[in-house]
Amino acid sequence: MRAPATLPGQYLPTGVRGAAGRTSGPGGQLETVGQVAERAVELGIVAPGALTALDADDLREPLSYYDDDPAAALVDLLAELGVAVRVDAKSGGDLLDGYRSLFDSFAACTGGAVTITDIELYEGNAGERIRMLVDGDVLDWHVEHGDSRRYLDTLMVFEIADSLTPRADTDPRVFTCVLDADGDSGHVFADPTAFAVLAAELGVTLD
């Protein structure tokens, strides 16, 4: 998997157009990786420079190149373009390392609009909790791991992601959760109105 492009922290307003033209109009069918990526640029979801993260040959591939499920494919494409995070419940080892890696990815998606640091797990009076600094403010949340220490608390991740918003009042971007056909989740950092347009054009339903 190629590393996602680093995006600037400033918000790109809806209507920014990429340098490369699309073969379909804004209301037309989006079929290829390149068409979807360029539409995301037009809607202000992705910075134009982020398209360099994609190989030229990949741009001509159908979106199903990423996944047969449009929701999963959209999340994976936008993750490669630096504005989405795919949540894998398996920690792959130490839980704290898993949470740190995951929330580092959330922060990277924002290009500096949201900072997340000092993540730690600890035992509170009513069970295990996670604590972190979000834009310098303490965020403290209950977590549940059950009998297994191999899986992240994805409900907690969903709840915290919903609260990760830029401090700037002029920046409307938030993390929108996208569920694929397998029930796996991804989170896209974008103006929700612009992202809803892109999702609708691809037939992806948002909760």
- Which tops the pLDDT comparison, 1 or 114? 114
Host domain of residue 132: 87-161
Looking at the structure, tell me whether residues 71 and 94 fall in a common domain: no
pLDDT of residue 73: 96
Same domain, 76 and 42: yes
Of the chain, the percentage scoring pLDDT greater than 70 comes to 86
Asked if residue 154 and residue 95 are part of one domain, the reply reads: yes
Q: Specify the number of domains making up the chain.
A: 2
Is the model's pLDDT at 107 over the cut of 60? yes
Rounded to whole angstroms, the Cα distance separating 47 from 121 reads: 35
Say whether both 127 and 111 belong to one domain. yes
Nearest to 154 by CA among 74, 99, 116: 99
Q: Answer whether residue 20 is part of any domain.
A: no
Is residue 11 predicted with pLDDT exceeding 90? Answer: no
Same domain, 78 and 176: yes
DSSP secondary structure letters along 21-86:
PPSS-TTS---BHHHHHHHHHHTTSS-GGGGGGS-HHHHTSBGGGT-SSHHHHHHHHHHHTTSEEE
| Residue 123 confidence (pLDDT) above 90 | yes
Phi, psi of 139 (to 5 degrees): -120, 125
Q: Can you tell me the mean pLDDT for 167-189?
A: 93
DSSP string over 128-140: EEEEEEETTEEEE
Same domain, 41 and 143: no
Residue 194 has pLDDT above 70, yes or no: yes
**pLDDT at position 8 over 50:** no
Q: Say yes or no to pLDDT of 164 above 60.
A: yes
Q: Which tokens go with 29?
A: 């069918």
136/120 same-domain check: yes
